[in-house]
Structure 1
Amino acid sequence: MPGSSSSSSSARLHKVLAEAGIGSRRKCEEIIQEGRVEVDGEFVTELGTVVDPEKQKITVDGQRIRARRKQYFILNKPVGVVSTNFDQEGRTRVVDLVPQDERLFTIGRLDRQSEGLIIVTNDGELANQLAHPRYGVAKTYHVEVAGMPSPDELKMIQSGVYFAEGFVQAESCKLKRKLKKSAILEIVLREGKNREIRRMLAKVGHKVLKLKRVSIGPLKLGEVPAGAFRELTPSEVKALRAYSDAERAKGAPKRKSAGRRTAGTSNFVPGKKTAKKKPFGPGRKKKKKRNTGGQKTPLVSEARRGQGRIVKQKKASRKKQTRQK
């Protein structure tokens, strides 16, 4: 019976149809409501029906749907390759490096000048779990910067800085290795804004020379060469799901709002207290209203009309006096 399945492969009917390539989720909802879908020989028109495509026969317009095989790849993105699926300039994309017979997309984008671990899949649910900020999945980066950041500067990265779009901070930021004219840092982020690490380090005066992502949650890049890929094992996929579920159960990290700040500016100083504004509510004095004794205050326009009449009367009396003389 539709709606009675509860196995790990169970999902809402419109989602199953969308993943089978029938159409968008909204389009699949319309198809269901039109009575064109059968589950185990019974027509289903109720949205939200839960089915198991591995155990139940699902047809649309009499044609049985094929459940698409989920594919998962780990790839070491080289510098110069773009993460987006659609590039108007025709540059090499991450998905071009993976052989595919179905539409694939990336999880956890990296900018063109960055390199390292990126996941390529056709599993939209897993992509949402790993990429959405509410899950708070940790991503680890090794970053080479010009110069030698001081302990206070590293602390500022971890304490957080303000950007135009909001307050951002690293989960952790520590010195990994010292070089002659540069240093390698290990930075962990829970959410990723556009070029977040580069912009945070620019705030403290250090240019990023090299940026490489080495892990997403429990998944490590390991020894995968630049530009190469491999398929994830079932145990690795299971570990990613379990990790994202656990992080969601803990609760996503709270984000601070930037308020009304000018783009590109920051007044944040670690350890410095800021003045608090007086709260609205019972603790704030209210202005007393004047008691007019029940009489309504005349409108401004009426008062102006009264003044105009007085002026006219004065002019008329002056003319009358002049004539009498």
Structure 2
Amino acid sequence: MAGRHPATPRHGLARVLSKAGVCSRTEAANWIRDGRVRVDGRIVRDPEYPLHDGMRRVQVDGLDAAPPPRQYLMLNKPRGLVTSTRDEQGRDTVYRCLEGAPLPWLAPVGRLDKASEGLLLFSNDPQWAFAILDPASGPDKTYHVQVDRLPDAAWLALLEQGTDVEGEHLRAKSVSVLRCGERNAWLEIVLDEGRNRQIRRLLAAFDVGVLRLVRVAIGGLALGTLGKGEWRLLQDSERDALAPATAPVPR
């Protein structure tokens, strides 16, 4: 039938802008409703307006909406910040740490909950982010976790064996003891999958409370000496060791 593209996948306009790394999906929807986005020279106000050919015909504020250069960075997330573009409850988000920086819009690659700290990646390369988060082939994540009990070998083995929690089988790839005090201990826990609040839920299933949780590495990329709330761009070798870039990056 004329005018139809049955073999070509189509996506909503806001999603296309977001996936291209131009802005967040929420921001794209707002731009569209405000009449700032044109398709084929015509203002479109429907965020779900279907596109068959990506960004080729899209303009924002009269300019071609070309994807910005790809960026890849790491942040040492402080405790108390929400990993979200914006928070409905008005809580501070991780974007507070990036305020004023000369960066394009970047999305978090995965999450750390509000009470957790440490290494958090950002990028506007969706395919790279997908590769990082892929449970089948993505890099391991390493955490240092302070718990409210002293561990023994049998209990550590149970964490690696795992248990069913709310219909999910949660487990750690490996667990080791970093140091012990009189009443609590620090563990190093490695995960090879990323489920929502996985470590906290796994430990709670064994009646163990988490006092602090810090992600210290993703694959071979370590948090190192990066200060709390500070960020830096990844080196090309660091980026590609996690997953190859899928688009040209700025020089």
Query: TM-score scaled by structure 2?
Result: 0.72
Match of 1:162, as an amino acid? Answer: D
Identity rate of aligned residues, in percent?
Answer: 36
In structure 2, stretches of 5+ residues that fail to align are 1-10, 23-36, 40-46, 246-251
The match for 1:193 is 195
Matched, 1:19 2:42: no
**Equivalent pair of 1:141/1:213 in contact (CA under 8 Å):** yes
Partner SS for 1:193: coil
Higher percent of residues as strand: 2
Question: 29, 44, 67: which is aligned to 2:52?
Answer: 29
Matched, 1:127 2:107: no
Question: 186, 192, 206: which is aligned to 1:184?
Answer: 186
Partner SS for 1:117: strand
Partner SS for 1:205: coil
User: Displacement of 1:116 after TM fit?
Assistant: 0.3
In structure 1, stretches of 5+ residues that fail to align are 1-13, 38-58, 244-325
Partner SS for 2:113: coil
Partner SS for 2:159: helix
User: Displacement of 1:177 after TM fit?
Assistant: 1.1
The match for 2:157 is 155
Q: How far apart in 1 are the matches of 2:201 and 2:191? A: 13
The match for 1:234 is 236
User: Displacement of 1:26 after TM fit?
Assistant: 8.1
The match for 1:308 is none
After TM superposition, the runs of 4+ consecutive aligned structure 1 residues lying more than 4 A away are 14-18, 20-26
Q: How far apart in 2 are the matches of 1:236 and 1:124? A: 17
Q: Structure 1's 20 and 76: CA in aligned 2 closer, same or farther, altered over 3 A?
A: closer
Match of 1:19, as an amino acid? Answer: A
Matched, 1:72 2:95: no
The match for 1:171 is 173
Partner SS for 1:194: coil
User: Displacement of 1:171 after TM fit?
Assistant: 0.6
User: Displacement of 1:64 after TM fit?
Assistant: 5.8
Matched, 1:91 2:114: no
Partner SS for 1:237: helix
**Equivalent pair of 1:78/1:227 in contact (CA under 8 Å):** yes
**Equivalent pair of 2:21/2:125 in contact (CA under 8 Å):** no
Q: Structure 1's 149 and 16: CA in aligned 2 closer, same or farther, altered over 3 A?
A: same
Q: Which has the larger radius of gyration?
A: 1
Larger relative contact order (Cα-Cα within 8 Å, sequence gap ≥ 6): 2
Match of 2:85, as an amino acid? Answer: N
Q: What is the 5 A alignment of 1:307-318?
A: none
Query: TM-score scaled by structure 1?
Result: 0.57
Partner SS for 1:133: coil
